[in-house]
Structure 1
Amino acid sequence: MPPSPPPPFGTPEMPRVAVRGEARLEVDPEIARIGVVVSARGTDRRSALEDLTRRNSAVLELIKSYGESVEKLETGAFSISPELTRHGRGERVRAYHGSVHLTAELSDFTALGELTTRLADLELTRVNGPWWALRPDSPAHGEARRQAVREAVQRAREYAGALGAQLAALVELADLGAEGAIPYGAPQAPAGMMRTAYAGTASEMAPALDLEPQRQVVHAQVNARFTMTPPEL
């Protein structure tokens, strides 16, 4: 016959102690994301679309030229819409505006500063970011969880020791699911924004932007319950 489980709230012979363990680490980011918006404007839909296609291809080619420094490159929203103006009693199309939104993820922060500057130097191209982050499988998350567990055990020992008792067994260890301070890919406060600029020749290329990576906070919490020996009251 299997042994009956211990009572949920403990007994005088087997008291329980419940604690929470927490850990908070500050670590360097592992990746950075930038948003790129490529724009075009034309007097007719075809010219606006052709101009947008040309500029989008130039931006993609530039980003891909950084090779393994770019871990991910994705195209998001695309739009082309007319700009209307009133003419007499009616409306007419004055121009067409097009845009493509791109997202790039880099792990080489030196390349990030250079790429960001070169993108901002392109015609009708806007750069947003960077947004710093950790990878979902970053070792920092596991280290924070281990520290939270060790802190819970230490705290429980101190409570038991204050009563002249010792920990006997672990009853429950519950993850609160708060190990990550910043979800992967979620934006933080941008380090800056570079707006539309006109491209120059290679000899006039703007110097690489000096970026300081933003430290990431990793937070872990656990609830732990232990049984302990009878206290000396």
Structure 2
Amino acid sequence: MSKNLFRTAVVAAAVVAVFGAAPALADEVAYNVGVTNNYVFRGLTQTDKDFAVQGGVDFSTDSGFYAGAWASNVDFGDGTDAEVDLYGGYKTEAGGFAFDFGVVAYTYVGAPAGVSYDNVELKAAASRAFGPATIGGAVYYSPDSWGVDNESVYWELNGAYTVSDKISLSGAVGRQTFDPGSDYTTWNVGGTYALTDKLGLDLRYHDTNLAGYDDAFVVSLKAAF
């Protein structure tokens, strides 16, 4: 295991240990661990097209409130080792729609001096199920995005279709905007196969309309328990 992957595994384990130490705050606690050949976020690789080890913990309450933490190794070519996300919010249902309002804090371990990738996004999402299909949309807003003084908004339309108990298909198209800055469109499509009731294999294709950026075929294995 490389030094960055080892550090991230330690960070992920620490996240699970620290947050998992307070299960009394939630009605339900869930954990996840995974590995992928390429960590892609909104169409762009976060690991220089290399492997990532990831893990997180989620707390939820019967009243609809939730919180969690998630970690992954990253490689921006400047020594930054890991991404650690902290998030929370509220989920509810009305008129046949599911709603999700929350906040996400992205923090980074090992960033070089004078560089701050840390930022916060506000999230609003809605979805509706039509039999085996689900269609949804989301918007994320940040007043200070990715370490620069740029407002950013990310819009996404997504959908999923349950083929069987073991197979589901899904995809999304999104638009990332910066003010000021360059905007771009991203999309992905793929499918998940349930190897067991706790282990899933996801195959996904990602691309953007950015010149000079490669598309990506991503294979991920994730366990949830």
Instruction: State the structure with more CA Rg.
Output: 1
Structure in which a larger fraction of residues adopt helix: 1
Structure in which a larger fraction of residues adopt strand: 2
- Give the TM-score normalised by structure 1: 0.27
- Greater relative contact order structure (CA < 8 Å, 6+ sep): 1
- Give the TM-score normalised by structure 2: 0.28
